[in-house]
Structure 1
């Protein structure tokens, strides 16, 4: 059985999934990991989704306010054994729904060029490439995406 819960960054299952995410990214990002990691703190993220399969936490994602109309997608992850089952899309859709409920009009995100599965996920869910924003401007290894929610 699949279930999703809305929580915040203090949730112990979210914290554990993010540890797995960081370990995965340390390998795939290689020398660039420290640069990206500085922008991925968990301090006081109010809007977190944790996905469960048969009561086991297997996926997560978060949104945080970027500007008055935009939420930024952060900390998307699905455990290796649970990939390919649609969990990441379910988490992403729930984050978008939550952003809409909070009166935001679009979501943006950054992922690395080495995160092939993530790029596929975002394109499959109708995110489009945009110019790199904020701290990612000019970073060739970064890909930024956006999706208008309304």
Structure 2
């Protein structure tokens, strides 16, 4: 599948739809108080870059964001691909694009928080295949048992 990935504003209907689908998928998997979702408005803040994957017809089929926390630390947020394109490496390509921007910004470490429950296996595979390793709690996320944390040291 030919996919293009570009930084875009999250303040558009297609991204809002992807965010809504991601939220609907995650809601039953983890208690609400242990879900740490950026809204599209938060994704539009200057510290966040939102990438959108589009198919040959220009339809948004995936998204992922990089949040720059300063001091060389970046966070992968809001990774999601439509079920119909899973297995076609769209998530991996989004992650690679996020990493490329992280390197361009001079970030030295990427972290992320994802769910620790059945239903998150595909996400774990994308991160682990991308060279991320499981680590302890990061940033201000609680170590609740409902989250799995990953990190990747960025090589120059």
TM over 0.5: yes
Give, in angstroms, the shift of residue 33 of structure 1.
2.7
Unaligned runs of 5+ in 1: none
- Aligned-residue Cα RMSD (Å) equals 1.6
Please give the alpha-carbon distance, in whole angstroms, between the structure 2 residues aligned to 1:129 and 1:142: 11
Q: Report how many aligned residue pairs link the two structures.
A: 147
Report the Cα offset of residue 57 of structure 1: 0.8
**Do 1:62 and 1:76's aligned partners in 2 also have CA atoms closer than 8 Å?**
yes
TM-score (norm 1): 0.89
Say which structure is richer in helix. Answer: 1
Moved over 3 A (4+): none
* Unaligned stretches of 5+ residues in structure 2: none
Partners of 2:141 and 2:14 in 1: how far apart?
28
> Which residue of structure 2 aligns with residue 132 of structure 1?
137
* Change in CA separation of 1:11 and 1:104 when aligned onto 2, cut-off 3 Å: farther
Matching residue of 1:81 = 84
Q: Can you list the C-alpha shifts for 1:109-136, whole angstroms capped at 9, x where unaligned?
A: 0111121111111111110111112332
**In the alignment, what sits opposite 2:59?**
56
Distance 1:118 1:41 in 2: 20
Within the alignment, does 1:145 sit opposite 2:145 as a pair?
A: no
2:144 aligns to what SS in structure 1? Answer: coil
Normalized against structure 2, the TM-score is what?
0.86
| Contact 1:17 1:77 (C-alpha < 8 Å) held by counterparts | yes
- Name the CA distance, whole Å, in 2 between partners of 1:105 and 1:12: 33
Whether 2:35 is the aligned partner of 1:36: answer: yes
Moved more, 44-53 or 109-118: 44-53
